[in-house]
Each structure stands twice: as C-alpha cells, then as structure tokens.
Chain A
Amino acid sequence: MPSEIKIDECELVASLKSGDQQAYSYLYDHYSAALFGTILKIIYQKEKAEDVLQECFIKIYKSIHQYDPSKGRLFTWLMQIARNTAIDTLRSKEFRNDHKNLELSNNVYNQGNAGSPLASGDAIGLDKVLKVLSEDQKKIIDLAYFQGFTQEEISGKLAVPIGTVKSRARSALMQLRKLFKEI
C-alpha cells in the first residue's frame, strides 16, 4: 500500500493543496487507519480518539501548503500531525479534567488494549512484527515514534541510561528495516 501511494504522492499532495475533496477522501482511505492507530496509542478512549482524528485531518487541510515533499515523506509528516494533535489533546485542561486518572506517564504501560489492529493484506501483521522486536525494543519505538517522548523522558520512564535508550532505539529500527526489506 505505501509503495503504491509513493508513486503519485506528489500528485496527491498537489491535489490536497488545491483543496480537492476527492484527494482528501483518498487520503482518508489510505492513512486514516494508520493515523487512528497512532492516536489510540496516546488517547485510549475511542470516541475521543475519533475527535482527535477529525481534528488531525482539519490540521492536515490547514497546513498542507507547508508540507514540502522534497524534505520528507508524506506519511512521516502526517504521523507528526496525528501525534502532536493527540498529545496536545492529552495535555489540554479540558481532557485532563475529564480523565484525571489517565496521566501521560501511565500511558506507556497500558498500550496494546486500545483497539484491534487492522487486518490488511499488504501490511505486515503485528504479530510478525512483535516476533522480531524484543519487548524492550518495541517499548522504545512506541514511546519515541508513537508518543513523541524525548530520550531523556524515555530514559526516566524505563529507568535506563540515555546511552541504552539510544542503542536500543537503533537496534530496534535496524530490525524493522531488515524485516520490511525481506518482504
């Protein structure tokens, strides 16, 4: 699926920039599940996560003109928006008043129960991914990539030195790269 998209990514971005409704429909069809999965790593409540997904698409619409394809992949950019929108929501006063028990620091250990992974013929199943990554490696990637924590924060949360965070992150990423290259 992602390789397919990459071919006409520039065209898609141009259509998105021109405000083409069909382009947004296409964008939603191809990326909403991945973005929703990411949002659910931060916001566990499905209803709230849906609101965040909607807000995330509005942000995409509002700032698509700032996206420069030559500077990075579209998906990476979309991910950043989804992650930032979710984190902003989590930290918002309104949300914290509603969910006093759900502190950001607690989220790390509760993930995985949020939703069922999307069954997709193209994407590699989560079970296969989890087989390749160790529990420690997976935690680091989730904290850094899905939840946007800094290495200092991760070091604090996992009670390991920053050097360990760096090396685990690197080995995890190399594992992933190897795994997806095989396909």
Chain B
Amino acid sequence: MNIAEYISSGIIEQYVLGLASEAEALEVKQMAAQHAEVRQAIDAYESSLEQYAMAHAVAPRKELKNRVLEAISKQQAVAQIHGGIRSEGITVMPARSIRLFKLIAVAASILLLISLSLNGIYIFKYNQTKGNYEVLLASQQQMAANNQTLRTRMEGIENDLQLLMNPMVKPIVMKGVAAHPGMVATVYWNPENRSAYFGHTNLPKAPQGKAYQLWAIIDGKPVDMGMYQPSGQEALQQMKQAAPGAVQAFAVTLEKEGGSPVPTLNQMMVAGNI
C-alpha cells in the first residue's frame, strides 16, 4: 500500500477522532513519524476538529481566569518548596535563577567553611591563651606566695640581725653533754632587758609527744625559759623573759610536750655557761 492509499484508507479519520484501536493508533503514529504526508493529513483533520471545537467554545466566567492562574502559581510554589524540582523531574525555576541560586549557595557554602575554619582557629587560640593564662596565673600566685615567704623570712632575718647587732646581746653557745657529743645550740642573751633568743642549733627533731625545754640557771636554780620545737626555720625564737637574779648558765632538756616544772637531768642535751 502506498502512502496516498494509506491516507485515503480512512484509518487517519478514525485515529483523529480517537476511534482507532490501540494497534491501529500505534501504526498511524509510526507512519506519521516516517511520512510527512501522513502527518500533514493528520494535522489537517485535527485543525478542522480544532475549529469545530472553537465553534463550540463557551467562555467561562471572567473571574475564573484569576482562580486558575492562582492555582497554577500555588502548584509552582509547592514545586519550588520541594527543591525546585517537580516529581516528574522537570525544573520549574527559570534556569537563570537556578544559576543565581547555585552561585549564592556556593558562595554561602564557601563563606560558611571560612567562618567555620576561623572559628576552629579562634577556639584553638582561645584555649591556648586560656591555658597560658592559667599557667601564668598559677605561677604568679606561686611567686606571690614565695614572695610572702621570703618577706616573712627576711623580716625574721632582719629582726635577728638587729638583735645580733645589738652590742648588749651575747651569744651563749651550749655544747652537747657527754651523752650527746656534737650537738650544739645557741642562746642570744640580753642581760639589759633579760630577754633570751634561741636558735642556731643542730638538735634533732624531738620524738613524738616530746619537746625541748630551755632552762636558765639563776642563782644556782633551773628556771623554765620556754619550749622549743625544731621546725627547719632558722629565725631566732624569743623565749621567756628571765626571772630576776644572776644568770649563770643555760641548758636544754628533752621533756614531754608542754614542758616540765623541773628539768629531767638525765635528758639534758646541751648546756653552756655565761
């Protein structure tokens, strides 16, 4: 069958009116794709039907146009909310605004990355600085404490020095008794105001519950001059003021903590005459 015969066979009229079977419709579509004449014949009939439909046209109410266009915009808005892509995979947004959007998105992503990395750097630097600050603060506190210690010690030494430089003060060196050779302690004795300072000793740390007691021998009798505990501090320790009478010697005994009214003679450590 040639094309002219095919066209005049009546199949195209059935197809155009939607009366052809599926198989026939497929055949007509294939023929139309291959032969311009078939396509033209279809177009001519469809154009006639189009005009027939136009003759039956009924104008809808004027208000309906806005309603319909709004419904389409709403669809577009919905499609844009869903990522700008319709379920059928067709982009609704104009290509230009997509490019712009992409550009902005890329720029925003870059800025965000820069911001994030700067944040990271600043957090790192902040932590570093904070760490440094804490170290400095600790060392400053340490230094202040050391300073305080030094000041206290210096004040003690200053006092001691003033004391030692007083021409009235006499150092009385007490040496270890026969049972404790090599031990030594010093009493700085001011006969003018009868004050005594104890120090410069190598007495060992007293056993638990015990302490050293200083005695002055006044007019042949031992008089309590106060307790002493070696503390590692080298400053002189002011003892009790001596009772009236002629001070002849000083001695140290090991007594129970709190002292004893009379010296335990077999516990005498050091002694020295004036």
A residues in contact (CB < 8 Å) with B? 1-2, 17-21, 24-25, 28-29, 32-34, 36-38, 40-41, 50, 53-54, 57-58, 61-63, 65-66, 71-73, 75-76, 79, 114-118, 120, 122-126, 128-129, 140-141, 144-146, 148, 150-151, 154, 165-167, 169-170, 173-174, 176-177, 179-180
Contact = CB atoms under 8 A, between A and B. Distances in A.
Given A21-B73, A73-B43, A123-B51, A169 B64 contact: no
A29 to B, nearest CB: 8
B57 A33 contact: yes
B50 A118 contact: no
A57 B72 contact: yes
B178 interface: no
Contacts of A122: 54
Interface residues of B, number: 46
B58 A117 contact: yes
Contacts of B94: 18-20
Contacts of B55: 117, 123-126, 128-129
Contacts of A148: 18
A2 B69 contact: no
Given A2-B54, A54-B68, A150-B19, A75 B75 contact: no
A37 B47 contact: no
A72 B16 CA distance: 11
A28 B68 contact: yes
Given A144-B19, A169-B17, A126 B46 contact: no
Contacts of B76: 19, 61
The dominant DSSP class at the B interface is helix
11 contacts: A18-B94, A21-B72, A28-B68, A32-B65, A36-B58, A41-B56, A58-B72, A63-B88, A73-B43, A124-B51, A173-B48
A81 to B, nearest CB: 13
Given A24-B72, A32-B65, A71 B50 contact: no
B4 interface: no
Nearest to B54: A123
Contacts of A151: 14, 19
A33 B58 contact: yes
B49 A115 contact: no
- Kindly list the 6 A-B residue pairs having the minimum CB-CB distance in the complex, ordered from nearest: A33-B57, A115-B58, A118-B57, A123-B54, A144-B17, A65-B90
A63 B86 CA distance: 10
A130 to B, nearest CB: 9
Contact of A54 (B29, B52, B67): B67
A39 to B, nearest CB: 9
Given A2-B54, A19-B92, A50-B64, A61 B72 contact: yes
Given A34-B56, A146-B56, 8 more contacts: A18-B94, A18-B95, A53-B60, A61-B75, A72-B46, A114-B58, A146-B53, A166-B14
Contacts of B71: 54, 57-58
B53 A79 contact: yes
